[in-house]
Structure 1
């Protein structure tokens, strides 16, 4: 039997007081029906530590180039430090690399009310060293969509229960189903879902699963970033559709004179 876990990932993967807006909430780190991930089987995962006026908060993200991490724009607050190559974020593992952030580049048209354009690039202060435990994940082709019914996955660290503030130090993962646009468009509490070319509807309404901050991985490609959901945490949830932003992502990275990206990933990549 699969371990039934509700993981509220820190940013997206850690639900903090005040993280919700109106009827909606950013599901920081939230995974139900999840299980412990094989150590370093997702070498693209990034754990973001944010020092804010409220204290230390966390988010998830993913490495798309040696000096760039992609995450959600609603994680822009505070001074961010990126931890790569981590399985247990509370242990000093030999695989870990801690890197400061040189620039935060939220999408210029991010709207914190409608959640439109909820993505952000983080330029790292130094290049990540690519290893078996730290590696980039490919991005999709511009405009490429994922068919409803496709089974993808999310991963992260965070709370193990909605009724507890205790978080999981170890990376967990879970499979999620891509839903039709109609599923989110007809959900009264997801009225901001109105641009399907820029958003994805994810999660079976019959099951309470979700995540935010890290990538929605479909066929070893980062197709989505968890953006928002209903305040009570029930599905479906809305992900930013990465393929709708490929021109902006590539233009931004080129403009900052970054080195070439690595499109291939190791066999261990999910």
Structure 2
């Protein structure tokens, strides 16, 4: 049985200082070449989020990860090492969804236009988006990669990319756990019984199913084993495409 990822009972947006994947395992180096490590300044402190490359010059992440002096590191496995595969690119323009609501975390999605196009390598490659109207049924197995602490007692993030296995949950059951859950624009993934669930899994990180991104990690509950809530990308495909089109 995979180790359980423990979650904490208050709703917790996953912003600066909340980047943990607990109970997962270290990913094979560069097996997720779309992963982006995002740093920024927020209220004078350094913020960290996850994200993923969707086009050579665009990274997708969560809207609550917005900050100043934003930079994206692509091609990383060990984020604390100056790896030859890494490409560090400043963000030229942040495009949060215009209807993002920081009170209930609805429409928690943001595009980052990079100052220059990423160079495609074995360690850097975009992740495909879902097909229009694609649906994930309860029980479907997906993955969440990200950097962060590997236990509740961890005081700092893990250097190497971690990966957790998440199970798609039933919308109606998630409505009982998360009263603000909106099934038309959100996905509930984890397993409150025995398999892994997201705990502070990198904000903005992708819910990857069949090598496509279906969600962007938004928030979790705390102090109990519970699923994480992801922004449902199928519902935002028109916005994503129209926002990237001018560039």
Fold shared by both chains (TM-score > 0.5):
yes
Given candidates 171, 176, 180, the residue that maps to 1:181 is 171
1:139 and 2:129 aligned = yes
Q: What is the match of residue 57 of structure 1?
A: 47
C-alpha offsets along residues 126-165 of structure 1, whole Å, 9 cap, x if unaligned? 0000010000000012332111110000011111222231
* SS of residue paired to 1:228: strand
Q: What is the match of residue 184 of structure 2?
A: 197
Deviation at 1:113, TM superposition (A): 0.5
Aligned-CA RMSD value:
2.1
1:31 and 2:58 aligned = no
Distance 1:36 1:79 in 2: 29
Q: What is the match of residue 105 of structure 2?
A: 115
Structure 1 residue runs of 4+, over 4 Å off?
Answer: 4-8
Asked if the contact 2:166/2:191 (under 8 Å) is kept, the reply is: yes
Q: Pairwise mapping of residues 201-240 of structure 1 onto structure 2 (< 5 A)? A: 201-207=188-194, 209-210=197-198, 211=201, 212-232=203-223, 234-240=225-231
Q: What is the match of residue 261 of structure 1?
A: none
Asked if the contact 1:7/1:158 (under 8 Å) is kept, the reply is: no
Distance 2:28 2:4 in 1: 16
Distance 2:96 2:6 in 1: 26
Distance 2:153 2:214 in 1: 31
* SS of residue paired to 1:244: helix
Scaled by the length of structure 2, what TM-score is found? 0.91
* Unmatched runs of 5 consecutive residues or more in structure 2: none
Given candidates 24, 31, 44, the residue that maps to 1:41 is 31
Scaled by the length of structure 1, what TM-score is found? 0.84
Q: What is the match of residue 158 of structure 2?
A: 168
Distance 1:133 1:228 in 2: 28
- The change in CA–CA distance for 1:5 and 1:127 in structure 2 (over 3 A counts) is farther
